[in-house]
Structure 1
C-alpha cells in the first residue's frame, strides 16, 4: 500500500471556462496530461452536473490508473478545481510521474492561487513525503520533506519551503529544488568567487534572480563591493527567504549595499543597455536563475538565456567585467550545456566553463565565466591564496586556493560539449 497521495485546491482559475463545464473538453485535457506523465489509464468516468435551471454546473471525473487513480471536481461558479492523485509505489516509484501530472494539471487550470498537500502513504510515515525533481523525462532526484513551513502561489510560480533531515530547510520553485541551508555553499560559492577573485577589485555587481540572497551574501564578503543590484522578478521569493532562509542569506537581503529591483531581468537588462549610464557599468553580472525550461515545459527564465540577452549583458559590463551563469548538468542536459557555451562564445572573447557537484540537484552542475578580458583559468593556486588573504575571505566552506584551478579541469566529455 506504500504510495504518494497528492491533492490540490485551485482558486481563481484563468483557463478557458469550457474546461470547467464541458466534460469532453475536460476529458481531452486530462487524458492527454495523464498519458504524457507516463501513468497508465485503465478506466474513466466523466459526469456533468446541471443547475436547477438546466445550465451546466461542473464536472466530476475519475481516471482509474494501473498505478491507482486521479479524481477531479470543477466548481465553475467559483472558478475553482479540486485535484486528487494517488499512485502506488509498491513495485516501482511512481512519485515523479504523479508530481509531474499534478503540476501539469495545475498549470492547465491556471489558478491565481492554489494549495497543495503531499502525503506519503504506507511506509512513508512521520508526515514526510519523498519530494522528487524530474532531471530528465527518464531520471529524477529527491529527498524526504516534512510538511511545508510555507507555500504559496505567487503571480509567477509556486513557492515552497520545507524542512528535510539531510538538507535542512529547502526552497522549491514550481516543484524544482533551488537551494537548501546545508548545501547552498556548493552552488553559491562556486557561482561567485571564481570570477570575483579573478577580478582585481569588483565594486558594482548585478544579480538577475538570486532571491534567496545566497549569491548576494557571497559577493558582500569581498570588501571592495560597494553596490549590488538584485533584480528578482518575484518579491514573494525574497519575502519568504527573509523569514525562513536566514542561514542562507545571513542578512544580505537587508544590507544597505543591496538595491532591490522587482522586475523581469530580461526587461531590466535590455532597457539599461538601451540607455547606458554610469550606474549600469557592472564589474560582475551573475545570472542566478531557474532553469531555462523544466520537464513540464514551463520557462519563466527562458528569455535570460537568449543571445539577445547575453549581448545586452555584455553592453552593461565595465572594462574587465565578467558575466557568470549556470549551464545545467553536462550529463543530464548536454545539449543545453553545449548550446549555452556556444552562445556565450559568440558574444564574449573568453568563455571559461567549469563544474561542481551540487548535492541538492543530484548531479554534476556546469557554470561559466564569460568576459572579453578576465581569465579565471589563468589564476594559479598561489595567486588565489594571496587574494583570499588580502580580502579576508576566511569563512568559505567549499572554495579555496586548491579548488579554484580544479573547478576548470574538465573531463573530456565536458570539454567537447559546445567546443
Structure 2
C-alpha cells in the first residue's frame, strides 16, 4: 500500500541557493560598473579642467564612451570559447588603461599638449570598448546556472547600483580626498582585484594558470606603485606645465587649485587659468574695488561674491567707514588656503582674519536669492565664464538678484574679462547688466599679467568720479582715474546680445574670442 502524497512543502518551490560563483560574479558586476563610471567621470573632469566648457567635454566624452561600450558589446559575440580566460584578460586591460587614464592625461597635457585630445578620446574609446565586453561575458558565464529572466534583472541591478554608488562618491569623497590620479589608480586596483578573484573562481577551467597569476600580480604591483607615487606624477606634470615652482595644489569638487612661486612672486591658477600674479595683482584689485567704494563715500555694509583669495577684501578694509564685509565663496578650500597659509594670508594682509569679515561658503546665486539684506557696495569677482556653471553668474537672472540686494545709493562692480581680446564678451556683460534696469558704467585697466582688463559698475543712480581715494594705493590716483573710463576705438562698444540662463551666449562667445589668441590642445 503506497503512502498518500500530500501537497508539496515550501521547500519544494524554493529557489536553489545561489552558488558562490554566481554571488562572486554579481559582486564583480557592481565593481565593474563602479570602475567604468569612475574612468568616464575622471576623463570628463580632466577635460573640463584643462579644456574648459564642461558641458561640451562631458557630452562628447559620455557619448564617445557609450558608443565604445556598444562596440564592445557587439564584439563580444566573437568570443566563443574560454570565456573566463577572456574575462580575466579584459579585466586586466581595463585596470591598466582606466587606472592610468588620469595620470597619462595629466602628463600629456604638460609634455605633449598637441596630442592631448587624441590621447583623451583614444583612452575613452579603448576603456569603453573593454567595459562593453565585460558585462556580456559575465552574463554568458552566469547563463550556465541562472535562468535568463533572473540573469538579466540581477546583472543590470548590480550594474546600476555600482554606477549610483560612484556617482555620489566621486564628487563628494573620492576627488576631494584622493585627487583624480589616485582615484583612477584605486579603481584600477579594484579592476585588477576582480581579475584575481576570477582567477581563483575559475582556477579549474583556466589554462596556463601561472601565466594568468603572473599577469594579475604584475598589474596589481604596477597600479599599487602608481598609487604610492601619485604625488610625484602630479608634481612631474605640473612642474612642466607651470613655469614656476609649484608650492601648493588641491583638488576640490569645484576646481583644481595650484599656487606657484618664482622670481616674480606667487601666482594662483584655477583649473589651469591664471587668477592673479603677486607682482601686479594690486593693479587688478585696486581697479576692481576703489572706483565703486570711493564713489560711494562712506560704505558700511559690503559684500564680495567670489574673490576667495581675500585680495578684494584687503582693499575694502582700507575704508574706515566699513563695518562689515560678507565674503561669499563657493569653495571652502580657497578661503581656508588664503586664511591659513601664512605666505598667502600675508598677501591679502590677513584680511580674512579681520573681525569685520564674515566668510560664507555657498553658491552666490543661491545666496543672493535667499537673502534680503541690502549692501552699499557689492564686489563681484568671479572667474571668467569658461563654462555654463560659471556663465550663469553673468546672466540677466543673476543681475536681477544683484539689483535687489543693492542699496538704493549703492554700487556693484563686476570683473568683466578683457575688452580688447574678448570685446564682444565684454559688451555682452554690459548689455546684460542694463537689461535688468541697472545703469552700467564700463571701464578698463592695464594689468601686465592679463593685458587690458575690463570692469563694469552697476548702480541705480549715475556713477560719478570720486573726489578722494584711500592713501597708500600703488596704482590708482585721482589724476589717472578718469582715463580708465575712456575706451579707444579698438575697445569701443559693439552690439551685443543679452546673456540669459536660457541661452548662455556669453560662454560660447567667450570661448570663441579667447580661442583665437590662446593655443588649443
Q: Quick check: TM above 0.5?
A: yes
1:95 Cα deviation after fit: 6.5
Evaluate the alpha carbon distance shift between residue 301 and residue 54 of structure 1 in structure 2; reply closer, same or farther with a 3 A threshold. same
CA distance in 1, matches of 2:116, 2:313: 32
Question: Secondary structure of 2:269's match?
Answer: strand
Residue 176, structure 1, aligned to residue 210, structure 2: no
Question: Secondary structure of 1:129's match?
Answer: helix
Once the two structures are superposed, the pairs formed by residues 86-97 of structure 1 within 5 Å of their partners are 97=114
1:412 Cα deviation after fit: 2.1
Counterpart of 1:357 (choices 433, 446, 460) is 446
Counterpart of 2:317 (choices 215, 220, 244) is 220
Instruction: Render the CA deviation track for 1:162-206: whole Å, top value 9, x for unaligned.
Output: 11222x111111111111222111111000000111112111111
Residue 347, structure 1, aligned to residue 436, structure 2: yes
- Tell me if the contact between 2:304 and 2:328 (Cα under 8 Å) persists in the aligned partners: yes
CA distance in 2, matches of 1:365, 1:245: 24
1:19 Cα deviation after fit: 6.0
Residue 206, structure 1, aligned to residue 303, structure 2: yes
1:114 Cα deviation after fit: 2.8
Instruction: Render the CA deviation track for 1:293-316: whole Å, top value 9, x for unaligned.
Output: 1xxxx4442221110110001001
Evaluate the alpha carbon distance shift between residue 301 and residue 87 of structure 1 in structure 2; reply closer, same or farther with a 3 A threshold. closer
Evaluate the alpha carbon distance shift between residue 186 and residue 153 of structure 1 in structure 2; reply closer, same or farther with a 3 A threshold. same
Residue 164, structure 1, aligned to residue 281, structure 2: no
Report the equivalent of 2:418.
329
1:264 Cα deviation after fit: 0.6
CA distance in 2, matches of 1:161, 1:314: 34
Give the stretch that moved more between structures: 80-89 or 148-157. 80-89
Instruction: Render the CA deviation track for 1:28-73: whole Å, top value 9, x for unaligned.
Output: x9xx98xx9xxxxxxxxx9x9x987835425479xxxxxxxxxx73
Report the equivalent of 2:234.
117
- Larger % of helix: which? 2
- Tell me if the contact between 2:440 and 2:459 (Cα under 8 Å) persists in the aligned partners: yes
Once the two structures are superposed, the pairs formed by residues 217-256 of structure 1 within 5 Å of their partners are 217-242=314-339, 243=341, 244-256=343-355
CA distance in 2, matches of 1:299, 1:103: 22
Instruction: Render the CA deviation track for 1:369-398: whole Å, top value 9, x for unaligned.
Output: 0111141xx32xxx53xx23xxxx222111
Evaluate the alpha carbon distance shift between residue 104 and residue 348 of structure 1 in structure 2; reply closer, same or farther with a 3 A threshold. farther
Report the equivalent of 1:129.
240
Flag structure 2 segments of 5+ consecutive residues without an equivalent. Answer: 1-30, 48-55, 61-71, 77-82, 126-169, 182-232, 497-521
Give the stretch that moved more between structures: 246-255 or 298-307. 298-307
1:334 Cα deviation after fit: 2.0
- Tell me if the contact between 2:280 and 2:449 (Cα under 8 Å) persists in the aligned partners: yes
Residue 287, structure 1, aligned to residue 364, structure 2: no
- Tell me the TM-score normalised to structure 1 length: 0.68
- Tell me if the contact between 1:73 and 1:82 (Cα under 8 Å) persists in the aligned partners: no
- Tell me if the contact between 1:21 and 1:58 (Cα under 8 Å) persists in the aligned partners: no
Counterpart of 1:373 (choices 452, 461, 466) is 461
CA distance in 2, matches of 1:145, 1:15: 40
CA distance in 2, matches of 1:210, 1:312: 19
Counterpart of 2:91 (choices 28, 32, 57) is 57
Evaluate the alpha carbon distance shift between residue 190 and residue 103 of structure 1 in structure 2; reply closer, same or farther with a 3 A threshold. farther
Evaluate the alpha carbon distance shift between residue 155 and residue 355 of structure 1 in structure 2; reply closer, same or farther with a 3 A threshold. same
Instruction: Render the CA deviation track for 1:299-354: whole Å, top value 9, x for unaligned.
Output: 44222111011000100111211111111112222221121110011124421111
- Tell me if the contact between 1:58 and 1:74 (Cα under 8 Å) persists in the aligned partners: no
CA distance in 2, matches of 1:269, 1:153: 26
- Tell me if the contact between 2:413 and 2:456 (Cα under 8 Å) persists in the aligned partners: yes
Report the equivalent of 2:104.
83
Evaluate the alpha carbon distance shift between residue 235 and residue 372 of structure 1 in structure 2; reply closer, same or farther with a 3 A threshold. same
Once the two structures are superposed, the pairs formed by residues 261-340 of structure 1 within 5 Å of their partners are 261-272=360-371, 276=372, 280-293=373-386, 298-340=387-429
Instruction: Render the CA deviation track for 1:140-170: whole Å, top value 9, x for unaligned.
Output: xxxx211x2110111111111111222x111
Question: Secondary structure of 1:225's match?
Answer: coil
1:414 Cα deviation after fit: 2.1
- Tell me if the contact between 1:341 and 1:418 (Cα under 8 Å) persists in the aligned partners: no
Instruction: Render the CA deviation track for 1:397-417: whole Å, top value 9, x for unaligned.
Output: 111111211110111232223
Report the equivalent of 1:412.
489
Give the stretch that moved more between structures: 345-354 or 310-319. 345-354
Evaluate the alpha carbon distance shift between residue 338 and residue 253 of structure 1 in structure 2; reply closer, same or farther with a 3 A threshold. same
